[in-house]
Homo-oligomer: A and B are copies of this chain.
Amino acid sequence: MSYAVLGAGALGGLYGGLLANAGYDVHFLLRSDYEFVREHGLRVDTPLGDFHLRTVNAYARAEEMPQVDVVLVCWKTTQTEHLAAALRLICRSDTLVMVLQNGWDVERAAADVVGAERVLGGCCFLCSNKVGPGHIHHLDYGRIAFGEYADSLRGSISERMLRIAADLARAKIDIQPAKDLRAMRWRKLMWNIPYNGLSVVLQADTRQIMTDPHASLLAEELMLEVREAAAACGSAIEASHITKMLDDTRKMVPYDSSMLLDYRAGRPMEVESIFGNALRASLDAGYRPAKVEMLYRQLAFLNVHRLA
């Protein structure tokens, strides 16, 4: 199948690069790195085997791109304003759109353009950084767990999911088809909400959070609230998942969350997709997660007024 990859950062650069390196027909839509990648290609340092793609199908404008079978949405959600125009140009009537962004209901923007039945969502578990233009450093992990977005298709693993999974697996991507995208997203939020949020407000890494009695209790209380929110929205998550995440995070090497890195670099944080959308979904379902709400408001403030 042919692929369009929106963005060539830590996510799109890695997965799109792996697909292209495996010989697939891959087309990248780029912004700031367009000139550099057109001239120098894409370098990926990865435990899967370093490679340098000297020629890359790079585009600055969606108008110039061919229509493809599958679109991988790898932009940050803070750039989603550009999504609709791009999808209208590069999608045929049967093109599938796989949204790899962080947060809750991040597939909605794509579904509004191509229809929910043509949208898939994926959660990425990877440790990867863009260390320079067209240069990705993939450190560890890398799994994509993905599933169908449309209510009508949830609950099973579709034939088209298996086709995509086969392509990605051939490109050495750790890919896991899943029946329940929603539960998967809530599980990821149970980590992202406490650690991304607290890391910014407290200017702390995971170890500082987990070794402080107040901050670690707060992380746990936030997880409990996210679990309640998930339950209210119809996704039951076992209580032991909280214990496991707390234990795993306690054992991790000190880690600065991606939101903390965005904040420190002066980039907009994905506050609405990760916090705002989850909060609103929970409120709509009749449960008010007070601490998640508070963290959301603090981050929304800090997204505008940066710490000195």
Report which A residues bind B (CB closer than 8 A): 201-204, 208, 212, 214-215, 217-218, 221, 290-291, 293-298, 300-302, 304-305, 307-308
Contacts and interface: CB of A to CB of B under 8 A. Distances in A.
B298 A212 contact: no
A201 B201 contact: yes
Nearest to A302: B202
B305 A202 contact: yes
A204 B305 contact: yes
Contact of A307 (B203, B217, B290, B297): B203
A302 B296 CA distance: 19
Given A208-B305, A305-B204, A215 B297 contact: yes
A307 to B, nearest CB: 5
Classify the secondary structure of A's interface with B: helix
B307 A212 contact: no
A204 B308 CA distance: 10
A212 B304 contact: yes
Contacts of A308: 203
A151 B297 CA distance: 39
A218 B291 contact: no
Contacts of A307: 203, 307
A291 B295 CA distance: 9
Contacts of A201: 201, 298
B203 A298 contact: no
Contacts of A301: 202, 204, 212, 214-215, 218
Contacts of A305: 202-204, 208, 212
Nearest to A303: B214
A217 B298 CA distance: 10
A201 B294 CA distance: 12
A300 B214 contact: yes
Contact of A290 (B214, B290, B302): B290
A126 to B, nearest CB: 27
Most buried by B among A291, A293, A301, A304: A301
25 contacts: A201-B201, A201-B298, A202-B302, A202-B305, A203-B308, A204-B301, A208-B305, A212-B304, A212-B305, A214-B296, A214-B301, A215-B297, A215-B298, A215-B301, A217-B297, A218-B294, A218-B297, A218-B298, A221-B294, A290-B290, A290-B291, A291-B291, A291-B294, A294-B294, A294-B295
Contacts of A215: 297-298, 301
A293 B204 CA distance: 19
A298 B291 CA distance: 11
